Structure 1
Amino acid sequence: MKAVILAAGYGTRLQRDLEKEQSGQFQHLQGVAKPLLPVGDCALISHWLRALTQSACVDHVFVVTNALYYEAFQLWAQDFPSVHVLNDGTRNNEERLGAVACLQLAVNQFAVNDDDVIVIAGDTLFKEDFSLRKFTERVAEVQRKNKEGNLVLSYQCKDEETLKYGILEVDSDSRVTCMKEKPLPSETHSRSATRPLEERDAPGNFLSWLIERRPVYAHEISGRFDVGNLASYTECDRYFRETLQNPDLYLI
């Protein structure tokens, strides 16, 4: 199995927040790619690499970034022999390719279309209940039913939060039957949330396309940290410094 980590974003919201922030407490974060932000005792993306390495669930990790941050990721990757860093060639937010195009770039560049692929958002971490071991076991279970089966993570959201996310409707076997984009609470009984659809950063659009063509199953977790602005970054960092119970087993 291979892993592709999508890390080609420019973090424009976070950088705007840092420019406005007056205390100077976060000055060291200016110009740092979101996956390389310090979270707890290491870079955000390093939590993934530690777990992927220790669990031995993948043999290669492909990180797709941009020309602005390429050298920083190359320097970071020196500590992880299984990592290959790919430059998408863009230098600013207006040129960005988007998540699906970056995924295709990695598939084409490294010829990974003949193996199963775990796709990871480089600005995202999960709460402590997520386990790569359980996830890969569930993948194997899904593919015993159908070799073309796929697995997507979801988590329960509140009624008022359906307008923020893509909402997955599933059957009794947790197979996804449809995805509703940011529905009203009254438009669906499901509260199984996944990343929202966005025109340029389009993993949700890809998921909607995939559901109609291949079996897709939902694997529920308790929640995630999606680092988008300074508030979400500080919340994530606080969790890893104050709440995380067993750092040595995190994600494994």
Structure 2
Amino acid sequence: MIALILAAGYATRLYPLTKDTPKPLLPVQGSRTILDLLVERLEVLEEITELLIVTNDRFYPAFERWEQSYTGPKQVRILNDGTASPEERLGAIGDINFVLEREQVQDDLLVLAGDNVLGFGLAGYLDYFHRVNTDCILVRTVDDLEELRSIGVAELDNELRVLSLEEKPQHPRSNIGVFALYIYKQSTLPLFERYLAAGGNPDAPSYFPEWLHSRQEMRAYYTEGTIEDVGTPEAYAEMRARLSSNEA
């Protein structure tokens, strides 16, 4: 299995913090960055053979410097999608397809947002994927209506098969939030190109499974752990203070 970390966004809501520093490389626990914490979650997964990090042309040098200082056990490669401004961005699904075409990936694929801080390990999720042997999304219960309106929302049957999935619904059909942690079987990967060729929205990563679940079986994996995405400078300062305090 290959892990693909999506890190080609520009995080304009966090300006000026992210004017020259990509969001995944913001320090959140002492000198440790969001990306450092995410990669630590991946290092303990033996079946992950390689970490691919896709970024844009503006931030490519910063990620290359990070990669040169990385001393962990995984093979890491930084990929430049060639965009240089928010207006040019490929979108999350566009970046996934860019990587699939460039690298000719022939493995199962774990896709992660590069700007999330996870409060749980991923071994259980991978075990579940192998047990059900189908594409998977990661979900957790969300009771805040405004948060549900800002993420993907799913409906599931009793065996956790995905019945519906809607990105950023104004009227959520459930309290099952979908987060940017997906596992796709190698046989599914060619469908990204088909989705985009048919005019599919390339932006948010949940748009692809929203399209896919009605074409082939997809299952959901529940987590009770926290998934934090820092959206404002104030929220970033709060997270950094809390995580640094936990380390002390």
> What TM-score does the superposition give when structure 1 sets the normalisation length?
0.80
Aligned to 2:9: 9
Summarize the Cα distance change of 1:183–1:101 in structure 2 as closer, same or farther, 3 Å threshold.
closer
Shift of 1:125: 1.7
Alpha-carbon distance in 1 for matches of 2:21, 2:11: 9
Which structure features the higher share of helix residues? 1
Aligned to 1:40: 29
Summarize the Cα distance change of 1:163–1:49 in structure 2 as closer, same or farther, 3 Å threshold.
closer
Give the conservation status (yes or no) of the 8 Å contact 2:138–2:178.
yes
Shift of 1:243: 4.6
Give the conservation status (yes or no) of the 8 Å contact 2:94–2:203.
no
Query: What is the letter of the counterpart of residue 76 of structure 1?
Result: W
Give the conservation status (yes or no) of the 8 Å contact 1:64–1:85.
yes
Aligned to 1:192: 176
Q: More displaced, 79-88 or 101-110?
A: 79-88
Q: Secondary structure at the match of 2:52?
A: strand
The CA deviation string for residues 63-100 of structure 1, in whole angstroms up to 9 with x for no partner, is: 00011010110110121561110001111111111000
Shift of 1:214: 2.2
Query: What is the letter of the counterpart of residue 135 of structure 1?
Result: Y
The CA deviation string for residues 85-139 of structure 1, in whole angstroms up to 9 with x for no partner, is: 0001111111111000101111111121x21100010111222xx2211111111
Shift of 1:183: 4.0
Identity, in percent, stands at 33
Aligned to 1:74: 64
Query: What is the letter of the counterpart of residue 93 of structure 2?
Result: V
Aligned to 2:103: 110
Summarize the Cα distance change of 1:204–1:58 in structure 2 as closer, same or farther, 3 Å threshold.
same
The CA deviation string for residues 146-172 of structure 1, in whole angstroms up to 9 with x for no partner, is: xxx111111111152333332100000
Alpha-carbon distance in 1 for matches of 2:204, 2:145: 23
Q: What are structure 2's unaligned runs of at least 5 residues?
A: 181-199
Q: What are structure 1's unaligned runs of at least 5 residues?
A: 19-28, 144-148, 246-252
Query: What is the letter of the counterpart of residue 91 of structure 1?
Result: A
Aligned to 1:202: 204
Q: Secondary structure at the match of 1:137?
A: helix
Q: Secondary structure at the match of 1:225?
A: strand
Alpha-carbon distance in 1 for matches of 2:75, 2:168: 37
Query: What is the letter of the counterpart of residue 45 of structure 1?
Result: L
Alpha-carbon distance in 1 for matches of 2:25, 2:242: 17
> What TM-score does the superposition give when structure 2 sets the normalisation length?
0.81
Alpha-carbon distance in 2 for matches of 1:184, 1:53: 38
Alpha-carbon distance in 2 for matches of 1:50, 1:104: 25
Aligned partner of 1:31 among 3, 11, 20 = 20
The CA deviation string for residues 204-224 of structure 1, in whole angstroms up to 9 with x for no partner, is: 211111111222111122331
Q: For this pair of structures, how many residues does the alignment match?
A: 223
Q: Secondary structure at the match of 1:131?
A: coil
Alpha-carbon distance in 2 for matches of 1:109, 1:181: 27
Aligned partner of 1:217 among 211, 214, 219 = 219
Alpha-carbon distance in 2 for matches of 1:65, 1:119: 14
Q: More displaced, 236-245 or 35-44?
A: 236-245
Summarize the Cα distance change of 1:183–1:87 in structure 2 as closer, same or farther, 3 Å threshold.
closer
Query: Structure 1 runs of 4+ off > 6 angstroms?
Result: none
Aligned to 2:111: 119
